[in-house]
Chains A and B, each alone.
Chain A
Amino acid sequence: MREGRVSATTAGAGVWVLAAGALVLIGLPLAGLLMRAPWSTLLHDVTAPSALQALRLSLACSLGALALCLVLGVPLAWVLARSSVPGLGLVRAVVLVPMVLPPVVGGAALLFAFGRRGVLPLRLPFTTAGAVVAEAFVALPFLVLATEAGLLGLDRRYEEAARVLGAGPWSRFVHVTLPQVAPAVAAGAALSWARALGEFGATITFAGNLPGRTQTLPLAVYVALQTDRDAALALSVLLLAVSVAVIAGLRGRWTWR
């Protein structure tokens, strides 16, 4: 780690310039948003009942989506990393599709799958559960990718050691594999949670837009943008603050070294 730092600080000026460019690309729009934010009415706007309702719903949906991603994504990552079933390369490609698919198309695809006339009609559209599923759909690849990479980086002999000590397959997974891959899972969870929190296109297409039920914060921002731009900017700042706080809070945790 230390060697890495040293070589980074002694890297050529070009690296610094490019890094600064990246920061400008991300930071400048953010700064623009903050500069235009209506600070005098901000507190009033973000504590409005409709804003709090959207925030609550957003947190609930994104956390629900994260839970769904963890429950389904970690086992999927394990299968991708560990099994040798033929066609796994195709599965891996399919898992990545939600990352490249325009979210609106993803939402439509979800309708074809789980809509009223879908392959598996679950009556999800226009429900909060539908919003959770839409968010999980776009967020899942982040968790699976990070977890699979973590699993591939593990020394499998620890599992052999556990087996020698009498641990069965499930026990090995829970007590040895999972704790060791936890940092990777946590990193993936932070990414997929952030993706779920900001989700817009798939949610609006699949779950619709109804305050208190499916109108998450990004949707509320979009609606507010059409009527009350200051409120929209205030809500955006709120969304920004929540995500930055959580991700910054997560960093550095979950490591045992």
Chain B
Amino acid sequence: MLAAASLSTGLREYAQARVSFGGSQQLALSVEEGADVDVIVTADQRTMDGLAAHGRVERPAVVASNTLAIAVAPGNPKGVRGLADLARPDVVVVLAHPSVPAGKYAADVLGRAGVQVHPKSLELDVESAVQKVVLGEADAAIVYATDARARAVGDVAIPSAQNIVTRYVAAVVKTSSHRAAARRYVARLPARLRAAGFSAPDASSDTG
């Protein structure tokens, strides 16, 4: 199984499946190239649509939703209170690269808030962006709310008016040799992710 990096907090413990985490685009590429995979879970609809259009996967289903938050260094030394603070020159900000869903969402959120940020780095997946904050190299990063909460970093909520609801989409890969089992696995994913702190598939930004 391949899963978006941001799902690692929710799926790590499920030993029944061997899970590889990565940037959604990277996962999609693996499936395109015929990697031996049963299930793929992407962090956005668009990537999955691409796979579906190429006939690589069965019908996709939304399995969970998430929102964005600002992960800040432990103790929030730079006093980040909201998106506007990310434009301050003394705050080192990293984002995920716009080519991965988290980066695209972050850009959307910043655009909607009208905040101009000069990130120091565009990390290749959202996990790396969180890592930079955990290690103290960055003061803040816009990441999934589940990541910001789960890791030992501070998290600053983004008001729902500026926030965005992201949806995780799962699908069974057509080349899978265990498609029945894979389908059952996908069917159980919403409850599991819910238990791990993700929002329900149909949640609006208010519940985030």
Q: Which residues of A contact B128 (CB under 8 A)?
A: 204-205
Give 1 or 0 for each of B6-46: 1 = CB within 8 Å of chain A CB.
00000000000000000101100100000000000000000
Which residue on chain B has the smallest CB distance to residue A117? B136
User: B121 and A208: CB pair below 8 A?
Assistant: yes
User: A126 and B120: CB pair below 8 A?
Assistant: yes
User: B23 and A111: CB pair below 8 A?
Assistant: no
Cβ of B7 to closest chain A Cβ, rounded Å: 18
User: B29 and A225: CB pair below 8 A?
Assistant: yes
CA distance A227 to B64 in the complex (A): 24
Cβ of B80 to closest chain A Cβ, rounded Å: 16
Task: Please give the number of chain B residues whose Cβ is less than 8 angstroms from any Cβ of chain A in the complex.
Answer: 20
Whether, in the assembled complex, B160 has its beta carbon less than 8 Å from a beta carbon of chain A, the answer is no
User: A208 and B26: CB pair below 8 A?
Assistant: no
Whether, in the assembled complex, A214 has its beta carbon less than 8 Å from a beta carbon of chain B, the answer is yes
Which residue on chain A has the smallest CB distance to residue B92? A126
Within 8 A of B (CB), among A179-227: 204-205, 207-211, 214-215, 219, 222-223, 225-227
Bin chain A's interface residue count.
20 to 34
User: A111 and B135: CB pair below 8 A?
Assistant: yes
Give 1 or 0 for each of B117-160: 1 = CB within 8 Å of chain A CB.
00111111000100010011100000000000000000000000
Q: Which residues of A contact B135 (CB under 8 A)?
A: 108, 111, 115, 117
Whether, in the assembled complex, A106 has its beta carbon less than 8 Å from a beta carbon of chain B, the answer is no
Give 1 or 0 for each of B92-127: 1 = CB within 8 Å of chain A CB.
101001011000000000000000000111111000
User: A214 and B100: CB pair below 8 A?
Assistant: no
User: B23 and A226: CB pair below 8 A?
Assistant: yes
Cβ of B200 to closest chain A Cβ, rounded Å: 28
Q: Which residues of B contact A210 (CB under 8 A)?
A: 119-122
Which residue on chain B has the smallest CB distance to residue A224? B99
User: B136 and A116: CB pair below 8 A?
Assistant: yes
